[in-house]
Every structure is written in C-alpha cells, then in structure tokens.
C-alpha cells in the first residue's frame, strides 16, 4: 500500500507539472472550452464508479455506485458534446461559410464497439477463471494498457487546445481515450453485474446528451458549475461506499486519510458548486450574503472537519464521526460560496473545478487507480491556473475573491457613481452615421453588456457592413471581459466572427492611437482609465484596453451606472467620448439601419 501510495504521489505531482505546461499554452480564446473539456475528462471518475456499481460488495455500495455512474456519465457525454459545439464555432476568415459537418460514418463505430464488447464479455464469462491464461488475468493486463493509452490521449487532447485549428481533433482523441477507458473497465475482474451499470450509463448519457446539445452558450457557466457538483457527488459517494465496505475489516491510516480527503473535498465541492450554479441561474440571490463573524465561522468549521478527520485516521471505526464529517463538509461548501457575489462566480467555479480535480485524484488514491490520479491532477491544475489568471487580470488576490464579498456593490458606491462629475456627450445612431462616413479603422470592444443584451449578432452584422465599406475592423478582447474566461470569444464565435479578427489586450493596445473609432459595446471596467491613472481606485493596476487613446470613442450602454467593480468610469467624461444610451442590441440595430439607409 505504501509503495503504491508513493507511486501515486509521484504520478500526481508529475501530472500536475505536465498539466501546467500544457494548460499554460491554451490561449485565452479557448479558456471556456478548456473548462468544459477538463470537466468532461474529469468524468473519468466513471471508471471507479463502474466497478463499485458492478461488483457485488453490498446493496448500499451498488446503489451509491449506480448514482455515481449516472453523475459521471452525465459529465462525460455533456462535457464532450458542449466542448465540441463550442470548438465548431471558432473559425478563421477563410473558413467562414464552410460547414464542419459531423461525419455519419463515425456512428458506425458504436455498433462495431457494441458487437466487440458482447463477444469479449461472452469470452470472458466462458474462460474467466479456469485457464492459466485466464480471461480475468488477460483483461486485468489489457486494462492497465488501456488506461495508459487513455491517459496519453487525454494529454494530447488538452494539448490540442493550444490552437483552435487542432482543438477539435484533440478533443476527439480525448473522447476516444475516455471510451477506451470505459470499455476496458467493463471487463474489470470485480464487475459481476451489469444491470445497474447499464441503467446508469444510459440515464447519465441521455441527460448529458440533452444538456450538451440543448444548453445555450450563455448558460455555460452554470452548466459547468452543475457538472462540477455531479462529479464531486460521484467522488463523495464512492468514498462513503469504500468506507462502509472496509470499516468492518479495518482501515489503515493511509486508506482512511485518502477516503477522508475524498469525501470532504467531494462533499464541499458538491454543495459549493450547486450553490454557484443556483446563483448563476438566478434561482438563488446572486448578491453576496454576508454577516458578522462569517470568516471566523468558516475557518472554525474547516478546522473542526480537519480535526475530526485526524481523529478518524487514528480511530477509523468511529462511524458516526465519519458521517458527521460528511455533513459538516456539505455545510462548509454552502457557507464558502454564500458570501461570494454572482460576478465573482467564475473565479469560484474555476476553483471548484480545481477542488473537483482533487476529489477525483483522491478517489484515484482510494481505489489506487492511476488514470484517475492523472486526470484529477490535470483537472486540479487547470482549474487552479484559470482562477489565478482571472484574479491576476482583475488585479485581485484569490483571498480577496474568496473572503472579500467583492461582488457586493454598496449603495453609496452606486450613488456616487451615478453622480455626474462633468459633462457627458450623448449621441444618436443617426448622428453617428456622419462620423462613420469618414473613418478607416474601427476597433470593437465587447463587454459583459453585449452578453446581457445578446448583441453579438448585431455586432457581427455591423462589422460586416463596415468591412464592405472598406473599413478595417478589429475586435479587442480583454481577458476578463464578461463573466467567465473566454466569454466574449465564445459569443463572437457563435455570431460567426472569425477568430483571426479577435485581438488580445496586449496585441490590440498599440493599435488604439491609429483607430478612428473605438466602439465599446457593453464594456465598462475593462476600459476604465482609472485603472492606470487613479491610485485610489479599486481597479488601479488592472491592465485595461486603452480605448481612450483612440481618436474617438463611442460607448453603447444603458446609463452611466458602473460595471462589476462598482467604480465610476472616467472615460465617459472624456471630451472625445460619445454615449449611445440604450440596450446594446437595440442601439446596434438602429445604427445598422441608419448606416444602411
Ligand atoms: P462590466 O464592467 O461589468 O460592465 C458591463 C456594463 O454593461 C455595465 O456597466 C452595464 O451598464 C452594461 N450593460 C448591461 N446590460 C446592458 C445592455 N442590455 N445593453 C447595454 N449595456 C449593458 O463588464 P466588463 O467591462 O466586461 O468587465 C468585466 C468585469 O467582470 C470586470 O470587472 C472583471 O474583473 C469582472 N469579472 C470577469 C470575469 C471573467 O472571467 N470574465 C470573472 C469575474 C469577474 P448599464 O447598466 O449602464 O447598461
């Protein structure tokens, strides 16, 4: 066990380093697909769940395994489908109009695999135990190699995300790796009953399929949170099943520690992610809920859980304490997310992604399943890196996000922000047409308001019209514009904007002084010059899109109200800035019609 643990730890650490190198190469353009891709890959918890559901441990284990199979297969199917839907939308200018169709011949793979599977099961059942080169021995050996190949395919899949050109092919490899791991696991020597496995795989597959194909792109953050909660629930249930199974015969300290970590991280990620999904979907109040002594209570609760686990490591048979730990971890997950504002949810989701990876890796340690240790480590690294990137781009610390209740805009801040501090020029779409008559270059700056107004198609139509008039159009994408990493990229890709027209902040900033118009569509904080000029501003130090250096600036928003940071924007008082007030979609429609006529 100790040698196994040692090997497992080496694998965990090395996979983390590998994940770091692969994931840092993923461009911000593909950060949203990266989140759903790691989500799908972390559905590898399915293989541990399959064994528990199919082995004849106990009725309770079978029931818990069945739920875990359903949850994990929902993630696998839903995760790969939605990632593919997103990746299909990313096109270069020369690829526009070319439909990337699904090749129906690929569907043939499934009946072929089903037949192969049935033949192998038959062979396995017949020669399972009685020859020296038994089916059981062969399948266990084959399984090990299946897992190694699958792990390689997962890493290649993530590596593919370093460019939109190879991303889909990469994800196809990863999906194939997942299929290999699942099919291989079905021959696991301990699986004796396929009834609950089949029901779980089918129901999870159907739910995941519907989610993956139907969910609108704007709901991707809550879907991601929901699938983290399903993955974490699977890990937690398998941990409970393993505890119940082994406690009667005795648990050594290593096994107890890994099971304890699995259920604690799994349970808190489960409720935390559910809470995040509820807030993002608007089912729960989005604003942070804070009260006196909140951080003290949370830290005390966490310390109690850790203390109880340490006790349990020495006295594993204290079954009641084990379930108290599960309950407290569930409560801790809720309390952890309550004080975080809806707008900070993306950071939290990325962190929960990372916790989900850790829960998956702990499940790998409990079952001594190396592929789960690898994918858990990859998932953990990806989530952690994304949350750090987001915090850095917002000029905030992770501690501030987690304990600062930042998404809460104090009333006096909002009032202050709406106080006029100078004159603001407003303009109508008709007046703007005169300005557009003489321009040669326009930089479009989308922000969260574009997502709210669903104005991406209007933006794309306007850009096409400008291009036909010989005007150069570029899009400036700030790394934290919107409410999740790569939010703007996905929406613009959905509106068929070629990704080679999208420029990152570092690429576009030198172009602003040459631009005739910076057209800001529902962006606010990411354009606020106070981030450069005002040391007292909460935004000070955050790198911004330097729209104020363009020859003129047009801002499409409904009012002068602040954005996510709750900070007034000095840009609107700049003499070369003009405000086109109103819903961004409607304003764009009016502008388009005025330009056409
Ligand atoms: P923002 O600063 O939140 O501003 C969005 C603006 O959109 C608002 O000022 C709002 O003004 C306007 N708006 C809302 N609905 C609109 C509509 N229907 N039509 C037109 N305008 C509308 O957005 P941002 O500039 O994209 O900056 C993102 C912020 O979110 C940053 O502070 C960032 O740190 C934070 N954040 C981002 C992420 C991420 O991963 N992307 C994660 C966490 C936090 P009106 O109300 O006046 O219309």
* pLDDT tens figures, 141-158: 777 788 888 999 999 999
* Buried b or exposed e, range 132-163, using 16+ CB within 10 angstroms: eeebbebbeeebeebbeebbebbbbbbbbbbe
pLDDT at residue 298 tops 50: yes
φ/ψ of 27, rounded to 5, equals: -70, 155
* Res 413: pLDDT: 45
Ligand 1 neighbourhood includes 453 CB (under 6 angstroms): yes
pLDDT at residue 119 tops 90: no
State in Å: Cα 521 to ligand 1 middle: 10
State in Å: Cα 564 to ligand 1 middle: 6
* Res 415: pLDDT: 44
Ligand 1 neighbourhood includes 485 CB (under 6 angstroms): yes
Neighbours of 497 (CB within 10 A): 28
State in Å: Cα 202 to ligand 1 middle: 40
Q: In whole angstroms, what is the distance from residue 321 CA to residue 308 CA? A: 7
Q: In whole angstroms, what is the distance from residue 488 CA to residue 463 CA? A: 15
Ligand 1 neighbourhood includes 542 CB (under 6 angstroms): no
Ligand 1 neighbourhood includes 394 CB (under 6 angstroms): yes
Ligand 1 neighbourhood includes 567 CB (under 6 angstroms): no
Ligand 1 neighbourhood includes 447 CB (under 6 angstroms): yes
In ligand 1, which atom is closest to the CA atom of 453?
Answer: 18
Ligand 1 neighbourhood includes 196 CB (under 6 angstroms): no
- Token digits for 446? 């989308």
State in Å: Cα 563 to ligand 1 middle: 5
* Res 99: pLDDT: 59
Q: In sequence order, what are the residues at sequence separation of 6 or more whose Cβ sits closer than 8 angstroms to the Cβ of residue 319?
A: 247
State in Å: Cα 559 to ligand 1 middle: 12
C-alpha dihedral sign at 163, 167, 169, 175: positive
Considering only CA atoms, which residue is closest to atom 40 of ligand 1? Answer: 484
Ligand 1 neighbourhood includes 583 CB (under 6 angstroms): yes
> Could you give the angle at the alpha carbon of 279 between the alpha carbons of 382 and 491, nearest 5°?
60
Ligand 1 neighbourhood includes 582 CB (under 6 angstroms): no
State in Å: Cα 468 to ligand 1 middle: 30
Q: Residue 112: beta bridge partners?
A: none
Mean pLDDT of 462-486: 90
Considering only CA atoms, which residue is closest to atom 41 of ligand 1? Answer: 480
pLDDT at residue 406 tops 50: no
* Res 418: pLDDT: 44
Mean pLDDT of 296-301: 91
Mean pLDDT of 252-277: 92
- As a whole number of Å, the end-to-end CA separation of the chain is 77
Residue 522 gets the label, from left (phi > 0), alpha (psi -120 to 50) or beta, of left
In ligand 1, which atom is closest to the CA atom of 446?
Answer: 26
Pocket-testing residue among 527, 546, 555, 557, ligand 1, by greatest number of atoms within 8 A of Cβ: 557
Q: Are 177 and 76 within 8 A, CB to CB?
A: no
Active site residues: 525
Ligand 1 neighbourhood includes 466 CB (under 6 angstroms): no
pLDDT digit string, tens, across residues 491-506: 999 898 998 899 999 9
State in Å: Cα 212 to ligand 1 middle: 27
Mean pLDDT of 232-243: 94
* Res 159: pLDDT: 93
State in Å: Cα 149 to ligand 1 middle: 43
Ligand 1 neighbourhood includes 173 CB (under 6 angstroms): no
Q: In whole angstroms, what is the distance from residue 168 CA to residue 58 CA? A: 41
pLDDT at residue 106 tops 70: no
pLDDT at residue 138 tops 80: no
402: confidence class by pLDDT, cuts 50, 70, 90: low
Considering only CA atoms, which residue is closest to atom 8 of ligand 1? Answer: 563
SS3 of the chain: helix, strand, coil, percent, to 5: 70, 5, 25
In ligand 1, which atom is closest to the CA atom of 394?
Answer: 34
In ligand 1, which atom is closest to the CA atom of 565?
Answer: 32
Considering only CA atoms, which residue is closest to atom 4 of ligand 1? Answer: 563
Q: In sequence order, what are the residues at sequence separation of 6 or more whose Cβ sits closer than 8 angstroms to the Cβ of residue 165?
A: none
* Res 412: pLDDT: 42
């Amino acid at each position: 066990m100790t040698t196994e643990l040692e090997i497992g730890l080496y694998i965990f650490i090395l996979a983390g380093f590998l994940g770091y190198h692969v994931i840092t190469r993923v461009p911000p353009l593909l950060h949203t697909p990266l989140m759903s891709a790691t989500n799908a890959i972390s559905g590898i918890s399915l293989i541990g769940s399959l064994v528990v559901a199919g082995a004849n441990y106990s009725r309770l284990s079978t029931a818990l395994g069945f739920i875990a199979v359903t949850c994990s297969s929902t993630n696998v199917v839903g995760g790969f489908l939605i990632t593919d839907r997103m990746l299909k939308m990313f096109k270069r200018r020369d690829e526009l109009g070319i439909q990337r169709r699904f090749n129906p011949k690929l569907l043939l793979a499934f009946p072929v695999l089903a037949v192969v599977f049935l033949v192998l099961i038959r062979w396995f059942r017949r020669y399972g135990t009685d020859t020296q080169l038994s089916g059981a021995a062969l399948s266990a050996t084959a399984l090990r190699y299946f897992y190694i190949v699958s792990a390689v395919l997962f890493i290649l899949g993530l590596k593919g995300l370093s460019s939109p050109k190879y991303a889909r092919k990469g994800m196809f490899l990863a999906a194939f790796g997942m299929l290999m791991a699942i099919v291989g696991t079905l021959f696991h020597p301990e699986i004796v009953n396929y009834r609950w496995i089949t029901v779980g795989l089918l129901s999870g597959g159907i739910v995941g399929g519907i989610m993956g194909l139907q969910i609108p792109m704007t709901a991707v953050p809550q879907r991601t949170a929901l699938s983290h909660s399903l993955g974490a629930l699977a890990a937690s249930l398998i941990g409970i099943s393993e505890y119940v199974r082994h406690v009667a015969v005795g648990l050594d300290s290593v096994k107890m520690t890994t099971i304890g970590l699995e259920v604690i991280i799994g349970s808190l990620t489960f409720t935390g992610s559910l809470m995040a999904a509820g807030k993002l979907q608007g089912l729960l109040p989005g604003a942070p809920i804070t009260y006196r002594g909140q951080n003290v209570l949370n830290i005390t609760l966490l310390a109690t859980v850790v203390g109880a686990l340490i006790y349990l490591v020495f006295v594993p048979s204290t079954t009641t304490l084990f379930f108290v730990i599960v309950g407290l971890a569930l409560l801790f997950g809720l309390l952890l997310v309550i004080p975080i504002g809806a707008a900070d949810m993306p950071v939290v989701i990325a962190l929960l992604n990372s916790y989900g990876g850790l829960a998956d890796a702990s499940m790998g340690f409990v079952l001594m399943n190396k592929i789960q240790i690898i994918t858990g480590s990859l998932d953990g690294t990806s989530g952690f890196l994304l949350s750090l990137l987001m915090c850095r781009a917002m000029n905030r610390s992770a501690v501030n996000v987690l304990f600062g209740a930042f998404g809460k805009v104090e009333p006096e801040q909002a009032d202050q922000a709406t106080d006029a501090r100078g004159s603001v020029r407003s303009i109508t779409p008709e007046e703007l047409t005169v300005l557009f008559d003489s321009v040669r270059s326009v930089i479009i700056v989308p922000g969260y308001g574009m997502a709210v107004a669903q104005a991406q198609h209007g933006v794309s139509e306007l850009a096409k019209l400008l291009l036909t008039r010989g005007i150069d159009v570029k899009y400036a994408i700030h790394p934290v514009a919107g409410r999740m990493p790569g939010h703007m990229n996905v929406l613009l890709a959905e509106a068929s904007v070629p990704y080679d027209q999208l420029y990152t902040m570092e690429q576009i900033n030198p172009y602003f002084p040459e631009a005739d118009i910076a057209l800001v569509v529902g962006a606010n904080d990411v354009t606020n010059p106070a981030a450069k000029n005002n040391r007292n501003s909460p935004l000070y130090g955050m790198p911004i899109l330097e729209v104020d250096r363009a020859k003129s600036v047009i801002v499409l928003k409904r009012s002068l109200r602040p954005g996510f940071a709750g900070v007034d924007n000095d840009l609107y008082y700049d003499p070369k800035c003009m405000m086109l007030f109103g819903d961004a979609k409607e304003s764009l429609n009016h502008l388009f019609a005025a330009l056409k006529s």
